[in-house]
């Protein structure tokens, strides 16, 4: 049986996706590090409580030279907020036990 998401969950996930798209668009802009940090800070502060579900990962040491952080969804916090939906890889019995 398919799990039905509540309207609040759908709204929050949609707003979270919009915030992530906005942060990625800021990252693609040709801005200085200070300007980028300011723009990302404004976007995160405008998002309110949703910004708690976003983490900014620093670039890897062996990767390309970039001074900006990569925005990602913190999936652990998303699961704790019960917005992630069913767990991937569970069998039918586990899905039935979850609800």
| DSSP three-state, residue 82 | coil
Q: Is residue 48 assigned to a domain?
A: yes
Q: Is residue 2 assigned to a domain?
A: no
Percent of the chain with pLDDT over 90: 6
Backbone angles phi, psi at 73, to 5 degrees: -80, 130
Contact, 23 vs 57, CB < 8 A?
no
Q: Is residue 1 assigned to a domain?
A: no
Q: How many domains does the chain have?
A: 1
Q: pLDDT digits over 14-32, tens only?
A: 998 999 999 989 988 888 8
In angstroms, the CA 37 to CA 33 distance is: 6
pTM of the model as a whole = 0.65
Provide the residue range defining the domain that includes 51: 7-59+67-98
């Amino acid at each position: 049986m398919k799990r039905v998401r509540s309207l609040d969950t759908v709204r929050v996930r949609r707003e979270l996706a919009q915030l992530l798209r906005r942060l990625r668009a800021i990252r693609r802009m040709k801005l200085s590090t200070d300007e980028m940090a300011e723009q990302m800070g404004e976007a995160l502060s405008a998002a309110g409580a949703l910004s708690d579900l976003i983490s900014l990962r620093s670039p890897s040491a062996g990767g390309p030279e970039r001074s900006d952080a990569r925005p990602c969804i913190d999936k652990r916090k998303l699961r704790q907020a019960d917005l992630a939906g069913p767990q991937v890889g569970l069998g039918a019995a586990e899905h039935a036990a979850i609800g």
